[in-house]
Amino acid sequence: KSLELANQLRYAAFTALVYSDLAFISSRLKKFSKAIEYYKTCLELYKKTKARMDIVQTMRRFGTTYYFAGKLELADAMLSEAGHSADLMNLREDLVKTNHYLGLIAIGQESYLKAEDYLIRACRIQQNIINEMSDELRKIYLSNPARKRVFENTIAYYKKQKEPVPEEITDSYKQF
């Protein structure tokens, strides 16, 4: 119904948002082909509106969906582009997420030095975000399990490589 209404209104940003929600739900249900289809449409619509932040976030979600669908090369390309744009726009939360997934992709591609670089970068950016927050906001921010997962995946990477975990990572992880 939402999509029907959005199409009737002919408002591209609203229609894109509906497609984004459909893609997210499809991805959660592991219907990756459908999610990819929805994200393609969503991205096309956001590009028409020139909503740069929405474009970056859609590309990041799109890339993450490719990752979970096992399409690592497509995920890498989409997330790299999203990360580059997020960096230019100083969208630090998107930088954390893109670097985190680029690190996981690099592990899947057995590019371990590249993986380490991305994972460390994700942790450092996230720690900088946390350091700038008030105590109240920090508590809320740290309660999100996805934020903890960035550090957990980085620690798991080092353990799998049988290398010592950098102190800055273990220190940051303790706050969770």
Dihedral angle at the C-alpha atoms of 145, 150, 154, 160, nearest 10 degrees?
Answer: 50
Q: Structure pTM?
A: 0.87
Amino acid at position 149, single letter: R
Quick: pLDDT tens for 78-136. Answer: 999 999 999 999 999 999 999 999 999 999 999 999 999 999 999 999 999 999 999 99
Asked if residue 60 lies in contact with residue 79, where contact means CB atoms within 8 angstroms, the answer is: yes
Question: What is the C-alpha to C-alpha distance for residues 78 and 73, in angstroms, rounded to an integer?
Answer: 9
What pLDDT sits at residue 13? 86
What average pLDDT does the structure give for the chain? 92
